[in-house]
């Protein structure tokens, strides 16, 4: 991507109604804390907080005295969510040109910005049409309302379908030590081959959420590696992602300031190739082929 995106991206899904319900002042404090630690990119989606979190963030950003050029804003569109703010009968996806343009413009307004650094289609739809999507993206790019366009949770084939009409700059997928399908299904290879910036959500995977044989094996090895690298477990899990040659940008979801500091410092950990494979092996539960 031409514009700068920080290596670690701060996800904002839990900043509002779907999580910690941060006050305006708490959001301002969180923004400044991220910037102080070199995290300048904030990841949103229109649906977060039932279409309210971008509004809350925008109010905080407006009062923050942070210069717009010093941060990057990502948003996603396309999911029609069943909630209190829209009269949707069923969760579905909508990608006609008018809706994409309207959604992007609404996110820009809600975030109290003049543009988005990156607009993503949130999830693939069986009914999406590349010409219709290209029509919307061409309009948004030409009017300066978005700086770049990408997708989220798209397979290589789905990405090729859309990129046949308009350039894809990024693809945000699930990827972690416990969700590593992208290593084997061609997703990361496809992005590297086509100059698409990979981003990943839920980068810590299930390591701290689930207690099973897989996570027990991972924790046992992490206990050893924490001492040899003088690092925390969450740092090592991020360092594992950062070592991949595709150049993945992890999107962290924490609002814990200490863990944000840890995440930023993960860039400095030089995980060896052997230890990278040891972690993969413990997650898989068997040696590599």
- Active-site residue list: 48
Structure-token pair, residue 234: 């969450």
**SS3 sequence, 86-132?**
CCCCCCEECCCHHHHHHHHHHHHHHCCCCCECEEEECCCCCCCCHHH
Strand runs labelled E in 153-246: 170-174, 197-201
Six token digits for residue 243: 């070592």
Q: Which position has the token pair 């579905």?
A: 92
Tally the residues of the chain: 289
Number of neighbouring beta carbons within 10 Å of residue 149:
26
Pair type for strands 197-201 and 249-252 = parallel
DSSP class of residue 196 equals P
**Rounded-to-integer distance, Cα 174 and Cα 124, Å:** 14
CA 31 to chain centre: 16
What is the distance, to the nearest Å, from the Cα of residue 161 to the centroid of all Cα atoms in its chain?
22
- Could you give the C-alpha distances from 258 to 8, 167, 194, 232, in angstroms and in order? 15, 37, 36, 11
Q: What does DSSP say about strands 118-121 and 149-152: parallel, antiparallel, or unpaired?
A: parallel
d(Cα 209, Cα 212) in Å, to the nearest integer? 10
């Amino acid at each position: 991507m031409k514009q700068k995106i920080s290596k670690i991206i701060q996800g904002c899904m839990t900043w509002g109604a779907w999580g910690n319900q941060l006050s305006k002042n708490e959001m301002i404090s969180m923004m400044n804390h991220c910037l102080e630690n070199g995290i300048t990119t904030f990841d949103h989606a229109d649906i977060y907080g039932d279409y309210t979190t971008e509004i809350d963030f925008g109010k905080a950003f407006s009062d923050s005295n942070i210069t717009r050029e010093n941060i990057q804003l990502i948003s996603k569109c396309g999911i029609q969510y069943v909630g209190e703010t829209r009269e949707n009968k069923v969760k579905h996806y909508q990608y006609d040109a008018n809706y994409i343009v309207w959604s992007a413009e609404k996110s820009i307004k809600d975030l109290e910005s003049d543009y988005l650094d990156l607009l993503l289609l949130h999830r693939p739809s069986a009914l999406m049409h590349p010409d219709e999507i290209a029509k919307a993206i061409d309009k948004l790019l030409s009017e300066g309302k978005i700086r770049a366009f990408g997708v989220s949770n798209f397979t290589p084939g789905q990405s090729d379908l859309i990129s046949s009409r308009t350039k894809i700059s990024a693809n945000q997928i699930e990827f972690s030590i416990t969700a590593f399908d992208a290593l084997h299904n061609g997703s990361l290879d496809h992005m590297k081959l086509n100059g698409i910036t990979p981003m990943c959500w839920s980068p810590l995977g299930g390591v701290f959420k689930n207690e099973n044989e897989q996570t027990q094996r991972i924790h046992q090895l992490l206990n050893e590696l924490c001492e040899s690298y003088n690092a925390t477990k969450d740092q090592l899990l991020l360092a594992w992602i950062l070592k991949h040659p595709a150049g993945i940008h992890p999107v962290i979801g924490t609002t814990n300031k200490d863990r944000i500091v840890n995440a930023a410092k993960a860039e400095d950990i030089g995980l060896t190739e052997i230890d990278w494979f040891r972690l993969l092996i413990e997650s898989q539960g068997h040696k590599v082929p």
